[in-house]
C-alpha cells in the first residue's frame, strides 16, 4: 500500500466524465492495483477512483511533475496530474484475514425459517425462497388456520419491500392451489410510510427482535 499526499488535478473518462481542479489530496494505491483519490471529507468514499483490475503508468513531465495514467480493461481512464508531492510512503500489509459479519438479512431469514412460530401461533414453513415468475418469495408459510402466507423478510422494512411483496401476492393469488394468499412484511424495523402502504395493500407488518430470535435458536454462538 502506497500513501501519497500531493497537490494534484484529476480527470476521469469512463462511465461518465468527471474533473477535479487542483488541490491537496490523498492518493491511495493498493496492492490490488486500485487507485483512489481522497479529500479530507466524504467519509470513506473517494472523490475519484479506479477499481481493480487496472494498470498504473507514471509519466514524468518536463516541469518535474508527474502524470499518472490508470486504465482498466473497459477503456475507462483516470488521469492524475501530480504537481507537488508532500508525502510518499509505502507499507507492506500482507493478506488480510477478512471480515466476519452477523446480523444481515440472510441471517434473519434463516432464523425465521427455523422459528416460524414467532410469526404466529401454529405457523409452519412451506418453503424458503419459494420461486415465482418474478423472483423468489423469502418464506412461504401456512398459518394456524392452514391459509398460505407469503413472508417478505427485510432488515429494515421500507416501501420497496411492500411493493415487492404486493407483486408476489398478485401472482400467487392467481394459483388456485394456493389462493387465497396473504402477505406479511417481517423486519427488525418498519418505517411508518411502509406501514401505511402495507395497510392499503392488505399486508400485515411484523417487527422481529433479532437478538431474541437468536436467543431462541439452539444457543450455539454463531459468530465468535
Partner DNA sequence: TGATATATCTCGAGT
Partner DNA sequence: ACTCGAGGTATATCA
Binding site for DNA (CB under 7 A): 12, 14-16, 18, 42-45, 48-51, 72, 76, 78, 99, 101, 104-106, 134-135, 154-156, 158-161, 164, 191-193
CB of 212 to a second copy, least distance (A): 15
Residue 214 contact among DNA, a second copy, none, beta carbon within 5 to 8 Å by kind: none
What letter would DSSP give residue 80? E
Which CB, 18 or 179, lies closer to a second copy?
A: 18
CA 141 to chain centre: 27
Residue 91 site contact among a second copy, DNA, none (CB < 5 to 8 Å, cut-off depends on kind): a second copy
- Closest approach, Cβ 153 to a second copy, in A, equals 15
Provide CB contacts within 8 A for 30, sequence distance 6+.
1, 36, 52
Distance in Å, CB of 181 to DNA, minimum = 18
34 or 149, CB closer to a second copy? 34
Q: How far is the CB of 21 from a second copy (least distance, A)?
A: 5
What is the C-alpha to C-alpha distance for residues 143 and 127, in angstroms, rounded to an integer? Answer: 13
DSSP 161: H
Q: CA of 149: how far to CAs of 68, 73, 159, in Å?
A: 58, 47, 19
Contact 70, 59 (CB under 8 A): no
Minimum Å distance from CB 205 to DNA?
Answer: 13
- Which residues fall within 8 angstroms of residue 19, CB to CB, at 6 or more apart? 9, 10, 11, 12
Cell numbers 396473504 correspond to what residue? 182
Relative orientation angle of helices 192-200 and 159-172, to the nearest 10 degrees:
20
Binding site for a second copy (CB under 8 A): 1, 3, 5, 15-21, 23-26, 28, 30-32, 34, 36, 38-49, 51-52, 86-87, 89, 91-104, 134-135, 155, 160, 163, 167, 193, 196-197, 223-224
Amino acid at each position: 500500500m502506497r500513501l501519497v499526499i500531493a497537490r494534484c488535478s484529476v480527470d476521469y473518462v469512463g462511465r461518465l466524465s468527471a474533473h477535479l481542479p487542483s488541490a491537496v489530496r490523498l492518493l491511495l494505491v493498493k496492492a490490488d492495483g486500485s487507485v483512489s483519490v481522497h479529500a479530507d471529507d466524504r467519509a470513506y468514499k473517494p472523490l475519484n477512483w479506479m477499481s481493480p483490475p487496472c494498470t498504473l503508468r507514471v509519466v514524468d513531465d518536463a516541469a518535474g511533475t508527474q502524470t499518472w495514467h490508470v486504465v482498466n480493461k473497459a477503456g475507462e481512464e483516470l488521469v492524475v496530474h501530480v504537481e507537488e508531492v508532500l508525502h510518499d510512503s509505502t507499507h507492506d500489509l500482507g493478506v488480510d484475514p477478512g471480515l466476519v459479519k452477523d446480523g444481515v438479512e440472510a441471517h434473519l431469514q434463516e432464523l425465521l425459517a427455523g422459528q416460524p412460530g414467532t410469526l404466529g401461533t401454529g405457523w409452519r414453513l412451506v418453503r424458503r425462497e419459494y420461486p415465482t415468475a418474478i423472483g423468489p418469495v423469502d418464506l412461504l408459510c401456512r398459518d394456524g388456520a392452514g391459509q398460505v402466507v407469503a413472508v417478505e423478510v427485510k432488515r429494515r422494512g421500507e416501501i420497496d419491500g411492500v411493493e415487492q411483496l404486493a407483486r408476489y401476492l398478485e401472482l400467487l393469488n392467481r394459483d388456485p392451489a394456493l389462493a387465497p394468499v396473504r402477505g406479511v412484511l417481517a423486519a427488525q424495523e418498519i418505517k411508518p410510510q411502509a406501514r401505511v402502504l402495507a395497510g392499503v395493500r392488505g399486508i400485515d407488518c411484523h417487527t422481529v427482535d433479532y437478538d431474541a430470535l437468536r436467543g431462541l435458536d439452539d444457543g450455539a454462538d454463531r459468530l465468535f
